[in-house]
């Protein structure tokens, strides 16, 4: 009997790890790290479900989100082995700790760059990463040895400091968390601004790129970017109409279905939370009926 119950317990543990159902199961799962080339000089770095990008110029590397200190140490060693170039710039996509922790790993060689609103959030030890040395408000261009990297602030969205990084030669755009690709938005839209978010995505759509590299999940294209903006607009319109009828948050969650997005990643887990978050946002912004 004892053997049998031990076997069952082991089986349940294995199932839990496979499902990734909770944090304990996640920590038991081996860390997946890889570097893949997107195009030209631009590469993608994966640490489990988090992704950043970097560009290898003839003389140095321009990196983005370190993700966390362990991930950054792995990445730094790999860059040294594969490319033998120092990281001269490290760019933060936005202030959220799950993407920008561990920047100190690159601080020996890198100038850290971020949007001006990112600095006060990081200062005072509020994020486990050093504040940027250089900030910008609207636009910044880094040009090194013929490689151009364009940083643009497109307004508030999933934070008030998210930037878009564009590689004009490869026609790649990188932005984190405010444009999920074929996926629902994160939970109940924490730290979000509406309707600014929709306008921010329209500015991204106006940029010249073929490949969109998000901070989670697979690469996308401009259609994917547009589709997520349409999702946000449709979600907002549905929730706003119900809010104007005096519906409560729970009633909105029951009434809204958005079934055409059922094939998107996170639909089951995030759907109700997205509706709840949008209800909170429209209630905060709307005038009386």
Which residues contribute to the site for Zn ion (CB under 5 A)?
A: 96, 177
Smallest gap from Cβ 174 to Zn ion, in A, equals 14
Helix (H, G, I), strand (E, B), or coil: what is residue 200?
helix
Q: Could you say which DSSP state residue 215 is in?
A: S
Ranked by CB distance to Zn ion, the top (closest) residue is 96
Q: Of the two residues 177 and 224, which places its CB atom closer to Zn ion in the complex?
A: 177
Q: How far is the CB of 176 from Zn ion (least distance, A)?
A: 6
Residues facing residue 164 across a β-bridge: 152
Decide if 38 contacts 211 (C-beta within 8 A): yes
| Residue 165 near residue 62, CB atoms below 8 Å | no
Min dist CB 64 to Zn ion, Å, is: 13
Nearest distance from residue 94's CB to Zn ion, in Å?
Answer: 6
Torsion of CA 74, 76, 80, 84, to 10 degrees: 150
When the beta carbons of 60 and 193 are compared against Zn ion, the nearer one is 193
CB of 177 to Zn ion, least distance (A): 4
Please identify, using beta-carbon distances, which residue of 131 and 214 lies nearer to Zn ion. 214
Q: Which of residues 96 and 156 has its CB atom nearest to Zn ion in the complex?
A: 96
Question: Is the CB of residue 125 less than 8 Å from the CB of residue 105?
Answer: no
Nearer to Zn ion, 76 or 94 (CB): 94
- Under 8 Å CB-to-CB from 17, ≥6 apart: which residues? 25, 28, 29
């Amino acid at each position: 009997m004892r053997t049998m119950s031990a076997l069952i317990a082991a089986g349940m543990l294995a199932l839990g790890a496979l499902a990734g159902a909770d944090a304990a199961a996640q920590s038991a799962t081996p860390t997946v790290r890889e570097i893949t080339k997107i195009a030209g000089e631009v590469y993608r770095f994966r640490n489990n479900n988090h992704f950043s990008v970097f560009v290898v110029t003839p003389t140095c590397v321009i990196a983005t989100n370190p993700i966390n200190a362990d991930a950054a140490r792995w990445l730094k060693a790999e860059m040294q082995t594969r490319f033998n170039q120092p990281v001269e710039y490290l760019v933060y996509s936005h202030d959220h700790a799950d993407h920008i922790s561990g920047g100190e790993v690159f601080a020996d060689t890198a100038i850290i760059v971020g949007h001006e609103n990112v600095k006060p959030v990081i200062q005072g030890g509020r994020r486990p990463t050093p504040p940027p040395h250089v900030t910008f408000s609207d636009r910044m261009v880094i040009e090194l040895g013929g490689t151009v990297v364009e940083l643009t602030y497109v307004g508030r969205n999933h934070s008030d400091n998210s930037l878009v990084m564009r590689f004009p030669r490869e026609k790649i755009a990188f932005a984190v968390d405010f444009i999920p690709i074929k996926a629902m938005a994160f939970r109940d839209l924490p730290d979000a601004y509406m309707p600014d978010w929709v306008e921010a995505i329209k500015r991204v759509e106006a940029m010249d790129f073929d490949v969109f590299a998000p901070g989670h999940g697979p690469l996308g294209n401009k259609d994917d970017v547009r589709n997520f903006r349409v999702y946000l607009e449709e979600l907002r319109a549905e929730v706003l109409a119900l809010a104007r009828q005096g519906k409560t948050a729970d009633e909105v969650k029951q009434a809204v279905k958005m079934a055409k997005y059922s094939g998107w990643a996170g639909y089951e887990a995030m759907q109700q939370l997205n509706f709840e978050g949008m209800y909170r946002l429209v209630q905060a912004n709307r005038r009386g009926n």
